[in-house]
Amino acid sequence: MGFTMGLNLLLLLAMVATNILSLYHLSAPTLQSPKPPAPLQVPDHLLHQLQAIRATINHLTRHQPSPSTTSQSKPTIPSDLLLYSQLSPIASSCHNHPDLLHKYMSYTPYSLCPLDSDLAESLILRGCHPLPRRRCFSKTPSKPPSSLPRNPFPSSFIDSNVIWAQYSCKSFSCLAKQSPNTGFDMSAEISRFMTYKTELDLPIPQLLQVAKSASSLIRLGIDIGGGTGTFAARMKQYNVTVITTTMNFNAPNNEVAAIRGLVPLHVPLQQRLPVFDGVVDLVRCGHAINRWIPLKMMEFLFYDVDRVLRGGGYFWLDHFFSKKVDLDKIYGPLIGKLGYKKVKWAVGNKTDSSGLKNGEVYLTALLQKPVSR
Ligand SMILES: *[C@@H]1O[C@H](CO)[C@@H](O)[C@H](O)[C@H]1NC(C)=O
Ligand SMILES: *[C@@H]1O[C@H](CO)[C@@H](O)[C@H](O)[C@H]1NC(C)=O
């Protein structure tokens, strides 16, 4: 009894700390600008505190007495979760969301899995990745694609190639109407990465020309947060292989990339890129990488990008957005620490309503990693 109460208190404490931390992130940089520009990040002591709390919780959850000795109110742990945890470690962040994890691992082995890709994605976005494996069959769409994707910009997609249960839209026409410019309207996608309207654009022919004139070959790339894979689709036509990391966010991004014949990696931003050191020539970050990403996480992300890039490879920040003052004081210096050559560095006002309200700017930068370290 006392044990459970103690655990609950700890969980409460952890929740409060986590919320303080996220509030801190949302308000951090500019609130402090009148003061000297010293601690613009989450203070280390707060991070340490949070880590200590998490470690304690993990310790406690791992050493809980067996169900027979605790109070009857304790939720039963799904048997397949128990079994799996004996085979393979479960990410520490999974332990912070026992409710979601238990729900995810409550299923009938050897039968159809529950239709819960949204639950899986919720866990992944909370850092519970990789997810535990399950012994069930995931449902397949009524019709698999029946032809080779010769054209990655088809005039339409076939609704029955996708399971729509988890999405608010139930068809491609709904998606294209409800959320334009999110990668489902191929008549818009076809001109992306090929036109130069402002200084913030870097058309692919120009990118390849830059690389060629530096005698730097681009064969293989990663597009981080690449939606339905349009960058990969375009690069494929230049015989460059690009893999796309993409989450679903209430739309079938992964499925559509696959239908287009492109490799979708269902990997969140906080995950180490699943390739070896120095094996890719190009990493592109679209505007999924922006000021809403906690600064520390962004820093780890950038250094992981550096890890996977070969010497002389390119890091392309495409329409990264932040407040102008933060670009000068925080993100600019952070990018500078990588020690890359600035091949392109263009900053422009973000002129949509939230951009105007928050004084945001876009940065498009093409950076080249030093040839050797
Ligand atoms: C891509 O490769 C194919 C087959 O080798 C070749 O015919 C085509 O010209 C190449 N395209 C480009 C843009 O290099
Ligand atoms: C960008 O916005 C700033 C502040 O809102 C303004 O002073 C500046 O003139 C704008 N620049 C351009 C090119 O519109």
Tell me the mean pLDDT in the region 193-211: 97
Residue nearest to atom 11 of ligand 1 (CA): 238
Give the domain-ending residue among 106, 139, 172.
Answer: 139
Q: Would the CB of 205 count as within 6 Å of ligand 1? A: no
User: 66 CB less than 6 Å from ligand 1?
Assistant: no
* Within-domain flag for 233: no
Nearest CA to ligand 1 atom 12: 238
* Ligand 1 atom having least distance to the Cα of 239: 1
pLDDT at position 14: 44
The domain that holds 343 is classified in CATH as 3.40.50
The pLDDT of residue 146 is 83
Q: How many CA atoms lie within 13 A of 329 on its CB side?
A: 16
Residue of higher predicted confidence among 72 and 178 = 178
On whether both 132 and 274 belong to a single domain, the answer is: no
- The answer to whether residue 61 sits within a structural domain is no
What is the CA(240)–ligand 1 centre distance, in A? 10
Q: Is there a single domain that holds both residue 132 and residue 206?
A: no
Confirm or reject: Cβ of 76 under 6 Å from ligand 1: no
197 shares a domain with 346: yes
The pLDDT value given to residue 32 = 38
Q: What is the mean pLDDT of residues 320-334?
A: 97
Ligand nearest to the CA of 208: 1
Residues 100 and 219 in one domain: no
Is residue 155 lining ligand 1, measured as CB closer than 6 Å? no
Both 341 and 273 in one domain: the answer is: yes
Q: How far is the CA of 283 from the centre of ligand 2 (A)?
A: 30
Q: Give a yes or no: residue 312 inside a domain.
A: yes
Average pLDDT of the residues in 184-213 = 96
Q: What is the Å distance from ligand 2's center to 29 Cα?
A: 21
Asked if residue 195 and residue 95 are part of one domain, the reply reads no
List the residue whose alpha carbon is closest to atom 4 of ligand 1. 239
Quickly state the pLDDT bin for 178 (edges 50, 70, 90): confident
Better-predicted residue by pLDDT, 43 or 275: 275
Identify the CA nearest to 373 among candidates 349, 339, 347.
Answer: 339
Return the closest-CA partner of residue 302 out of 264, 330, 325, 326: 330
Nearest CA, atom 6, ligand 1 = 239
Q: Which residue has the higher pLDDT, 23 or 187?
A: 187
Q: What pLDDT is attached to residue 214?
A: 95
The answer to whether residue 346 is domain-embedded is: yes
Q: Which ligand is nearest to the CA of 346?
A: 2
Domain count, the chain: 2
Which range marks the domain in which residue 108 is found?
90-139
Q: Is 312 exposed, middle or buried (0-12, 13-18, 19+ CB in 10 A)?
A: middle
221 and 337 housed in the same domain = yes
Q: Note whether residue 127 is domain-resident.
A: yes
pLDDT at site 179: 82
Q: Please identify, among 139, 155, 174, the residue that sits at the C-terminal boundary of a domain.
A: 139
pLDDT per position as a tens digit, 135-158: 999 999 988 888 888 899 999 999
Give the residue whose CA is nearest to atom 5 of ligand 1.
239
Is the CB of 238 within 6 Å of ligand 1?
yes
Instruction: Decide: 137 in ligand 1 pocket, CB within 6 A.
Output: no
Q: Over 80: is that where the pLDDT of 49 sits?
A: no
Are residues 94 and 220 located together in one domain of the fold?
no
| Ligand 1 binding pocket mutation candidate from 194, 236, 239, 240 (most atoms within 8 A of CB) | 239
Split at pLDDT 50, 70, 90, the class of 177 is confident
Q: How far is the CA of 177 from the centre of ligand 2 (A)?
A: 32
Tell me what the mean pLDDT of segment 181-200 comes to.
94
Residues 297, 209 share a domain: yes
Q: Are residues 220 and 321 in the same domain?
A: yes
Q: Identify the pLDDT of residue 22.
A: 40
pLDDT at position 73, please? 55
Per-residue pLDDT reduced to its tens digit, 65-123:
444 444 455 668 999 999 999 999 899 999 999 999 999 999 999 999 999 999 999 99
Tell me what pLDDT residue 54 has: 54
- Mark whether 274 and 359 lie in a shared domain: yes
- Closest ligand 1 atom to residue 237 Cα is 13
Residue 230 lies in a domain: no
Least confident span in 74-78, 239-243, 252-256, 264-268: 74-78
Rounded distance from Cα 87 to ligand 2 centre (Å): 57
What integer pLDDT is reported at residue 51 of this predicted model?
56
% the chain with pLDDT above 90 = 73
* pLDDT tier, 47 (very low <50, low <70, confident <90, very high otherwise): low
Give me ligand 1 centre to Cα 239, in Å: 6
Average pLDDT over residues 15-34: 39
Q: Ligand 1: does its nearest atom lie under 6 Å from the Cβ of 372? A: no
**Is residue 60 over pLDDT 70?**
no
Does residue 201 sit within a domain? Answer: yes
Q: Is residue 153 part of a domain?
A: no
Residues 201 and 109 in one domain: no
In this predicted model, what pLDDT tens digit does every residue of 274-319 receive, in sequence order? 999 999 999 999 989 999 999 999 999 999 999 999 999 999 999 9
